[in-house]
Structure 1
Amino acid sequence: MSLLPHLINALVDDYDRRHWLSDLNDHQLYLTPADILQITQRPTTRSGGQMRRPWRNLAGGDSNVSTFSSNKNEFKVNLDVQQFKPDELKLKVVDGFLVVDGKHEERSDEHGFISRQFTRRYKIPEDVDQEKLNSHLSSDGVLSISAPKIVKDEARGREIPIVQTNQPAVQQSSQSKQGQKEEEKKDDPQMES
């Protein structure tokens, strides 16, 4: 059996995959419902014994559009907003959520006219100091939002020093009771008689 048909199929699949993905990218924008409908109407192809669905990778969350982290020291969000000017972005805190809005009106680009709008909401953990939220927009269009965690005041308690008596606890208590009785007899003249 010849390997030539398998090699040709692999080359055709690679070409076909690039063609389908270029349809999906839509110039680095999100898919519209019409794009998804068009893709699902195309037949899936077999490659390497598995069904290939090129749109599956888009839903995987592998893009670096948004990253969120919260560790013991800080809360941090990085968001790719390179398609927006700083005056087209709004940040606010609403009911314990950080809300990032971006919107620009229709403008022309090399492919025609385009308008964009997005809203992202991030739940702010309860131990984050919301008053210290700050944001920075880098030159390459990454919006970084961060806030420190609230440091719990551990100084509210006090340390109690441990005093060593160098005597056993049982003997000390029985001897001290006898010593107290003898002192009471000395102080009270009526008890002596």
Structure 2
Amino acid sequence: MSVYPFFIEYERPRPRRLVDQHFGLGLTPQDYLTILAVPQTTRDYYRPWRNLQAADRDVGSTIKEEKDKFQVNLDVQHFSPEEISVKTADGFLIVEAKHEERQDEHGFISRSFTRKYPLPEGIEADMVMSKLSSDGVLSITAPLKAPPKNSDERIVPIIQTGPVKRQGEEQA
């Protein structure tokens, strides 16, 4: 077996995910320990443990699809309510947020993002609601339409043809 395919595999781009949404925040003590404990042999070395640590700290957005509702929770703590927009269009839930450059303890920073979530079948787009908690979590919920009744089923009315006779009553 040739060693050549392994070189090609090494040069292949690695998967990239945006899990850490806390841009511009300082490093945590755990970050410093990771930097000191793990030597960097090359500049482009693939470091999956960083993704694992970031995933532990930041869950990003969560999507829940239950039998009666669709819900999205999104961390937007860096934005004020006026800087956030939630809308539905063409079968998507679209969340956008943007703030202009502002100063923080590290310097100047500006942030913006757009998230598009495909709406599941049966969502009542007119009933989509959003709430922003005091800790910066945006919760967006939409009720699912009740499933249509089975077209084969029909309720047959009962028509009473005479007075009700109870058992034990005698006719006069």
Q: Give TM-score, length-normalised by structure 1.
A: 0.55
Residues 43 and 133 of structure 1: is their aligned pair in 2 closer, same or farther, counting only changes over 3 Å? Answer: closer
Is the 1:20–1:54 contact (alpha carbons within 8 Å) kept by the matching residues of 2? no
1:103 aligns with 2:98: yes
Matched, 1:158 2:158: no
Q: Which amino acid aligns with 1:158?
A: R
**Which segments of 5 or more consecutive residues in structure 1 lack a partner in the other structure?**
1-16, 24-37, 45-51, 162-193
Q: Following the alignment from structure 1 to structure 2, what is the Cα–Cα distance between the partners of residues 39 and 82? A: 36
Q: What is aligned with 2:114?
A: 119
Q: TM-score when scaled to structure 2?
A: 0.61
Alpha-carbon distance in 1 for matches of 2:97, 2:88? 15
Shift in Å, 1:68 = 0.4
Write out per-residue CA displacement over residues 12-44 of structure 1, whole angstroms, 9 at most, x where no aligned residue: xxxxx7426579xxxxxxxxxxxxxx9960768
Residue pair 1:98, 1:121 contacting (<8 A) in 2 also = yes
Q: How does 1:9-20 map to 2 (within 5 A)?
A: 18-19=31-32
In 2, distance between residues paired with 1:151 and 1:57? 40
AA aligned to 2:43 is: Q
Q: Give the drift of 1:62.
A: 7.0
Deviations 1:54-112 (A, max 9, x none): 32326758722210011111000000000000000011112101010010000001111
The amino acid across from 1:159 in the alignment is I
| 2:43 maps to 1:41 | yes
- Name which structure has the greater RCO, CA cutoff 8 Å, separation 6+: 2
Distance 1:43 1:160, change over 3 A: closer
Find the aligned partners of 1:22 and 1:141 in 2 and give their Cα distance.
29
Rg larger in structure: 1
Higher helix share: 1
Please say if residues 77 and 145 of structure 1, whose CA atoms lie closer than 8 Å, have aligned partners that are also in contact: yes
What is the CA–CA distance in structure 2 between the aligned matches of 1:61 and 1:141, rounded to whole Å?
Answer: 18
3-state SS, counterpart of residue 41 of structure 1: coil
Instruction: Please report the RMSD computed on the Cα atoms of aligned residues, expressed in angstroms.
Output: 3.3
State the aligned residue count. Answer: 125
In the alignment, what sits opposite 1:77? 72
Alignment check: 8 A CA contact 1:21 1:54 kept: no
Q: Confirm or deny: 8 A CA contact 1:79 1:142 kept in the other structure.
A: yes
Structure-2 change in CA distance of 1:117 and 1:159 (3 Å):
same
Instruction: Report how far residue 142 of structure 1 moved.
Output: 0.5
Letter in 2 for 1:114: I
